[in-house]
Amino acid sequence: MTLATTSSQLIYSQGVGAATLMLNGPSTQTLVCGPDNNWYVAGSTAPSSSTPHMTWYGTFAGTFGASTNTSMGAIWTPGAGVAMTRLDIAIGTAPAGCTTWPVIGVYDSTAAAWLKTVTLAAGTYSYRNTVSSVAVPAGHNLSMGVQTAAAGCTTNAGSAQLTMVMQ
């Protein structure tokens, strides 16, 4: 199956933008439309196992990363303990020319700890990160934010989407 965009939209998969995306077989990829009207691939290319999983999705609008903030996106409190198994991030505007690169991720405000973070890089729009089962206890408040502020950037990061997969 070939997915195609309209107008001047692009589909970003693993940091590369194209007008089409070819799916050669069964897939658990998820396409999300960014605030910049482009599409971003989140999820894996191989069919998932029979283990149940859930997805939590949130966005940052506008430019970000110039200051730290532990709660920039969606806030979620799981009713039961879960294990984070993946964190995918799509950036609408990649940072450029930074002397210090922004670090974003998922923050547990109940434990006052970052569960998973990713350092953004010039020209990189898609980050696919397998996580080795990070435990999230029931009742903990999770948010998405900026752990390390960027400095000296010629272009600040903008329009991030985070997708966390849990079992």
Helix (H) or strand (E) holding 40: strand 39-42
Mean pLDDT across the chain: 82
**The pLDDT of residue 48:** 47
Q: Does residue 140 belong to any structural domain of this protein?
A: yes
Q: Does residue 63 belong to any structural domain of this protein?
A: yes
Question: Could you give the angle at the alpha carbon of 117 between the alpha carbons of 29 and 96, nearest 5°?
Answer: 85
Q: What is the pLDDT of residues 134-167, one digit of tens each?
A: 999 999 999 888 999 999 999 999 888 888 888 8
Name the percent of the chain lying above pLDDT 70: 83
CA distance 152 to 95: 10
Could you tell me the two tokens for 18?
A: 């194209």
Q: Does residue 32 belong to any structural domain of this protein?
A: no
Query: Which residue positions in the chain have pLDDT lower than 50?
Result: 45, 47-50
CA distance 91 to 40: 9
Q: Does residue 35 belong to any structural domain of this protein?
A: no
**8 A C-beta contact, residue 75 and residue 136:** no
CA neighbor of 104 nearest in space, from 40, 61, 150, 152: 150
Q: Write out the residue range of the structural domain in which residue 66 sits.
A: 51-166
CA distance 156 to 63: 6
Q: Does residue 153 belong to any structural domain of this protein?
A: yes
**The pLDDT of residue 47:** 47
Q: Does residue 42 belong to any structural domain of this protein?
A: no
Q: Does residue 24 belong to any structural domain of this protein?
A: no
22 exposure class (CB count in 10 Å sphere: 0-12, 13-18, 19+): exposed
* Count of domains observed in the chain: 1
Residue 150's domain is classified under what CATH number?
2.60.120.340
Q: Does residue 75 belong to any structural domain of this protein?
A: yes
